[in-house]
Amino acid sequence: MNPAFFPRFLKLADGYFVSSRDFAVGQQVFRFSSAGELLGSDTLALGETYFSYDVNGSPHLVSQQATFAQSRWTMRTVLYLFDTQGFYSDSVELRTNELAAGESPSSSAYYYENSILTFMAGSVSPTPPIIDFRVWLSTYDGTTVTNTPPWDPGPLEPQSYITSWGILRTHDARFVLSAFIRGDENMQFWFFGLESDGTFNSNLHTQNVADNHLLNGLIMKEISGSLVYAFTEVTTDGSYGGGAQIAAFPLDELLDADDTLPELPSAIDLRAYPNPFNATSTIEYQLAQAGLVKLAVYDVLGREVNILADELATAGVHKTSWSADNFASGKYFLRLATSTESRVIPITLTK
């Protein structure tokens, strides 16, 4: 017997539906009676499925696919439909995205509640030392697919990358996007607040994870005005430990707070005002100790477009400015780096 991957389990009108991936033969589906008796099975030439839900007793399987042709990746999200008896009936292509040259598919996430499927897919464009990501967010109500423009969460610190995403659609049609950041210095959950059109509102909530642990699974729920999330983790030090944790924080920290980033735990600090700005923005940064410091501006592709400071600086507060007369409107990122740590914040130029 070949190993099975990505098992999905759903309740039928009078029985059960089980789907799993056999990489040797394809997608397998099994139909069981309410007493657990196997009634039949099919092997289907479908893409790998990572999420499932049912609509009035009809199983739905969501597949995220990636193909490479002519030096570019294409990402597709496909929905497979089954009838109430568990037989395959149709498919719907929900989204197709052709990535830029050098851009590769990353992970995906799904959420279904109140008859709305919310799904996202990420991509990565590694341009050392900056690792840059883009996110595509969509919803499907059973009839219409709504796509938001691709969003760039911003460059990560050097030697950091995102290993998994999560997505939640709130009762008022806004979104929470989670990312598990793994780096040399620390590991963190990042929770982003997104408006109903998919735009980032600049609010961020973080939680540290022990540096010898890896995320093994995450579930998010909106309960009484709070984001409640549970996750499992495994150790990477050979002790075979881990466990599960549950935590919560008020949703208004992300969705109704002022449009500024909360202070991250760091010995350095960085802010810009006004932000957004239309000509010149004042950049203020704080150092805990004297040392070499570099303050640079990056575009959404992770390219360094301006250097504001590259010098030996004393401890304390410093100010400079960015005159962006020769730059196009759009989103940029300020990165402050010392010999031991760095800080990145978004800044928006409007003309």
Residue 241 has pLDDT above 80, yes or no: no
Q: What is the CATH number of domain 269-349?
A: 2.60.40.3080
Mean pLDDT of all residues in the chain? 82
pLDDT at position 162, please?
78
pLDDT at position 214, please?
63
Q: If you average pLDDT over residues 244-252, what whole number do you get?
A: 83
Q: If you average pLDDT over residues 206-214, what whole number do you get?
A: 70
31-41 confidence digits (pLDDT tens): 999 999 999 99
Per-residue pLDDT band for 260 (boundaries 50, 70, 90) equals very low
Question: CA-CA distance, 302 to 131, in Å (whole number)?
Answer: 7
pTM of the model: 0.67
Number of H helices, E strands in the chain: 1, 26
Per-residue pLDDT band for 265 (boundaries 50, 70, 90) equals very low
Per-residue pLDDT band for 258 (boundaries 50, 70, 90) equals very low
Q: Where are the domains of the chain?
A: 1-98, 103-263, 269-349
49-68 confidence digits (pLDDT tens): 889 999 988 999 999 888 99
**3-class SS of residue 143:** coil
Among 124-128, 197-201, 282-286, the least confident range: 124-128
